[in-house]
């Protein structure tokens, strides 16, 4: 790929849109933030690029023309799914299976399975737009009922009449014979040339009809939204003279072109936070940490990801926002806990925080943009953690009077002081976040004490020592780029595509080994061709394989990573041993003498992109030179204040050591170091926070 001067990462969040631009020559990395504009996300991009142009003192078109990559992580797809504002969707399915997305697996999601009062999920396709067609393929791949093409045409006529703009096709056992789905797709393309089409067997060619259909429907539902967004962003960057097409960040942790993101819109769901693990590993590398829990608290949400031994947890076949998604996604635990999370009193008279948020419009009361409800940011300002002069180096003024008035709305009914109410809000939102960290660690068999906590997001640093103390974690890494860490993660990530194939075979004969091996080679040829067309050479490609396996008779399978070796009679034991080990890791036992079968297989193809070089921080010795003064801060429920030293992060050099309690103010984040913690700035640009005398 052609070498240019800059690389740009853009991460659109609920409150702020973050921009990270790296100078490829000097290694300098700069972070900028603009308020998100949900009504028109491209407006926030335009505003942020204006900040970059002003800082670099260059026209923005000159900067963009000299970017080797412009990368965009977006919440557009996620927001469309949350608010049910996707495209008008039609589903063509096997006759008699029109209600499979409603019947699901015969029960509600885990946690609500036996709750009769829990309402049914809102269907993305209304019943009258789910059209069954006569066709039937059996589980051995044979055709029992040929496709009745007139049924497909009748469905198209209805869709045209009803203004359907996107269509999903999913037939029973199409993974073993895709001919019916592909013929139906040809008919839809001919009769509805303007419609966006999702073919289930092409998007997610895996066994299990409900998951495949639900994934196809979700993809179709989001496709019009993503197509409009991608078209607007691509056109904007082309107008600015971009030499390379914009890349979009996928929920599988890799980059994709705009066309791929439109065709595979379901991969846009967790586009933003999916880059956090890569960034967490990057900032942990100078300290030799490969067990990392990355936490990202922004204005609206709190995202958690876990990476063990350098491998980030992936989820497949999950219920996300009540919709079954089969494709692999970086495992992100998301909570409604952010700087904009609103405090309120429940019917029992108890103080609660979130999940509702003030977002960026109107925002916390202290922003002075019309908000009156008490938020986490208001509480942090009352507690003395945030600088009353404002955030973003003073560009976002804060109003302490409005913050106190907002917190008083919960303090007065509870009969406590404003300071006590603020600390109560702080403690409650922290408890929610700790529970989320436990869900990705303790509840999945990992001891959080074996991990370091990496802070991302603008609001995280004010809470992170409290979170680590509660979890028993003794080490925290907080990069100076924390508030834009996901945007930074984008510019150090590779292009990544997942290719899948069904392979329902028992691993007990040579024909089965050959079938699995040939299927791997077949899907990998497609992936390699895709990436070569995208400009990658052979030496920039990496392939990773995994197989969904189970013991014969089991209902569920587990995903097992394997190497890229030829699968035959001499290597099959390596595959089986990997499965036994993974099964034991997940479920504490293995049945090494039981027969093993394959359900699905998957290859992940990476196109490696040259990484940006980041500068080191020079050492200046003592932290005293950066001391700005002292500010009263509150660290316990009593509401008592402590005169706390406040440091200017921009003036701290490598080796600067600070004993808590203390506050470090960076331009885009504020680090609260609670009593019992110390901080030292490393030359890599990250603060290493260490708990003293851990219990």
Q: Which CATH number belongs to the domain containing residue 574 in this structure? A: 3.30.1490
Is 66 within the bounds of a domain? no
So what's the pLDDT on residue 2? 43
Q: Cβ–Cβ contacts within 10 Å for residue 107, how many?
A: 10
Say which residues have a Cβ less than 8 Å from residue 681's Cβ, sequence separation at least 6.
Answer: 617, 652, 653, 654, 655, 656, 687, 688
So what's the pLDDT on residue 548? 93
Greatest CA separation for the chain: 81
So what's the pLDDT on residue 616? 79
Look at the alpha carbons of 125, 131, 137, 138 in this order and tell me if their dihedral is positive or negative.
Answer: positive
pLDDT in tens, 182-226: 999 999 999 999 999 999 999 999 888 999 999 999 999 999 999
* Residues paired with residue 689 on neighbouring β-strands, in sequence order: 476, 679
∠ Cα 108 556 316 (to 5°): 70
So what's the pLDDT on residue 1? 41
So what's the pLDDT on residue 12? 83
Is 534 within the bounds of a domain? yes
Is 522 within the bounds of a domain? yes
Is 402 within the bounds of a domain? no
DSSP state of 522: H
Is 589 within the bounds of a domain? yes
Dist. CA 464–CA 455, nearest whole Å: 7
∠ Cα 581 584 590 (to 5°): 90
Look at the alpha carbons of 582, 310, 331, 100 in this order and tell me if their dihedral is positive or negative.
Answer: negative
pLDDT in tens, 582-604: 999 888 899 999 999 999 999 99
Is 144 within the bounds of a domain? no
Q: Which residues of the chain have pLDDT under 70?
A: 1-4, 14-15, 360, 390-395, 620-621, 694-695
Nearest one of 73, 332, 324 to 200, comparing CA atoms: 324
Token look-up 């029109």 returns 98
So what's the pLDDT on residue 647? 94
So what's the pLDDT on residue 390? 63
Say which residues have a Cβ less than 8 Å from residue 119's Cβ, sequence separation at least 6.
Answer: none
Is 263 within the bounds of a domain? no
So what's the pLDDT on residue 623? 86
Whole-Å CA distances, 597 to 52, 109, 556: 54, 27, 11
**How many domains would you assign to the chain?**
1
Dist. CA 475–CA 325, nearest whole Å: 35
Dist. CA 275–CA 264, nearest whole Å: 18
Give residue 505's domain range.
495-607
Structure tokens at 367: 């922003």
Is 306 within the bounds of a domain? no
DSSP state of 409: H
* Residues paired with residue 546 on neighbouring β-strands, in sequence order: 561, 602
* Residues paired with residue 550 on neighbouring β-strands, in sequence order: 597
So what's the pLDDT on residue 3? 46
Dist. CA 219–CA 131, nearest whole Å: 18
């Amino acid at each position: 790929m052609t070498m240019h001067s800059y690389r740009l990462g853009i991460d659109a969040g609920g409150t702020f849109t973050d921009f990270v631009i790296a100078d490829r020559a000097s290694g300098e990395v700069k972070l900028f933030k603009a308020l998100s504009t949900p009504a028109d996300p491209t407006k926030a991009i335009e505003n942020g690029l204006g900040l970059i142009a002003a800082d670099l003192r260059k026209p923005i078109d000159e900067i963009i023309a000299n970017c080797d990559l412009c990368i965009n992580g977006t919440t557009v797809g996620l927001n469309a799914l949350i608010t049910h504002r996707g495209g008008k969707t039609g589903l063509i399915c096997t006759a008699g299976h029109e209600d499979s997305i409603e019947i699901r697996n015969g029960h509600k999601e885990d946690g609500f399975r036996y709750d009769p009062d829990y309402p049914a999920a809102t269907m993305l396709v209304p019943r009258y737009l789910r059209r069954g067609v006569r066709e039937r393929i059996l589980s051995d791949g044979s055709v029992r009922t040929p496709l009745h093409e007139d049924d497909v045409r009748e469905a198209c006529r209805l869709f045209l009449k009803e203004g359907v703009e996107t269509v999903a096709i999913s037939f029973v056992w199409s993974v073993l014979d895709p001919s019916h789905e592909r013929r139906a797709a040809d008919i839809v393309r001919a009769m509805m040339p303007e419609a966006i089409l999702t073919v289930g067997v092409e998007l997610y060619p895996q066994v299990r009809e409900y998951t495949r259909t639900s994934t196809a429907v979700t993809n179709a539902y989001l496709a019009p939204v993503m197509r409009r967004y991608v078209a607007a962003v691509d056109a904007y960057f082309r107008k600015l003279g971009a030499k390379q097409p914009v890349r979009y960040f996928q929920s599988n942790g890799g980059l994709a072109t705009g066309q791929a993101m439109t065709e595979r819109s379901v991969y846009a769901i967790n586009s933003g936070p999916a880059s956090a693990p890569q960034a967490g590993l990057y900032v942990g590398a100078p300290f030799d940490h490969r067990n990392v829990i990355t936490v990202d608290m922004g204005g609206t949400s709190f995202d958690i990801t876990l990476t063990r031994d350098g491998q980030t947890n992936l989820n497949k076949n999950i219920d996300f926002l009540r919709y079954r998604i089969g494709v692999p996604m970086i495992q992100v635990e998301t909570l409604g806990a952010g700087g904009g999370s609103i405090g309120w009193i429940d019917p029992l008279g108890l103080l609660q925080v979130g999940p509702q948020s003030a977002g960026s419009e109107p925002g916390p009361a202290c922003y002075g943009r019309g908000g009156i409800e008490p938020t986490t940011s208001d509480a942090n300002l009352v507690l003395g953690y945030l600088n009353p002069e404002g955030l973003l180096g003073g560009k976002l003024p804060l109003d302490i009077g409005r913050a106190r008035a907002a917190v008083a709305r919960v303090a007065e009914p509870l009969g406590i002081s404003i300071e006590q109410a603020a600390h109560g809000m702080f403690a409650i939102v922290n408890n929610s976040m700790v529970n989320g960290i436990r869900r990705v660690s303790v509840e999945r068999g990992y001891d959080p004490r074996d991990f370091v906590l990496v802070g991302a997001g603008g609001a995280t640093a004010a809470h992170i020592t409290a979170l680590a103390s509660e979890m028993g974690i003794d080490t925290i890494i907080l990069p100076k780029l924390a508030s834009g860490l996901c945007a930074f993660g984008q510019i150090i990530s590779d292009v990544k595509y997942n290719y899948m194939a069904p392979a329902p075979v028992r691993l007990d004969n040579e024909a089965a080994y050959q079938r699995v091996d040939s299927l791997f080679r077949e899907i990998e040829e497609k992936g390699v061709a895709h990436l070569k067309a995208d400009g990658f050479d052979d030496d920039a490609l990496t392939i990773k394989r995994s197989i969904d396996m189970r013991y014969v008779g089991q209902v569920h399978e587990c995903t097992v990573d394997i190497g890229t070796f030829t699968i035959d009679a001499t290597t099959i034991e390596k595959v089986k041993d990997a499965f036994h080990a993974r099964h034991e890791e997940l479920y504490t036992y293995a049945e090494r003498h039981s027969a093993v079968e394959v359900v699905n297989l998957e290859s992940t193809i990476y196109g490696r992109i040259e990484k940006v070089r980041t500068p080191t921080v020079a050492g200046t010795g003592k932290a005293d030179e950066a001391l700005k003064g002292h500010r009263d801060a509150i660290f316990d429920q009593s509401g008592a204040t402590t005169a706390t030293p406040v440091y200017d992060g921009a003036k701290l050099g490598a080796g600067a050591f600070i004993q808590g309690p203390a506050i470090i103010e960076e331009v885009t984040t504020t680090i609260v170091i609670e009593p019992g913690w110390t901080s030292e700035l490393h030359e890599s640009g990250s603060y290493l926070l260490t708990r003293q005398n851990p219990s």
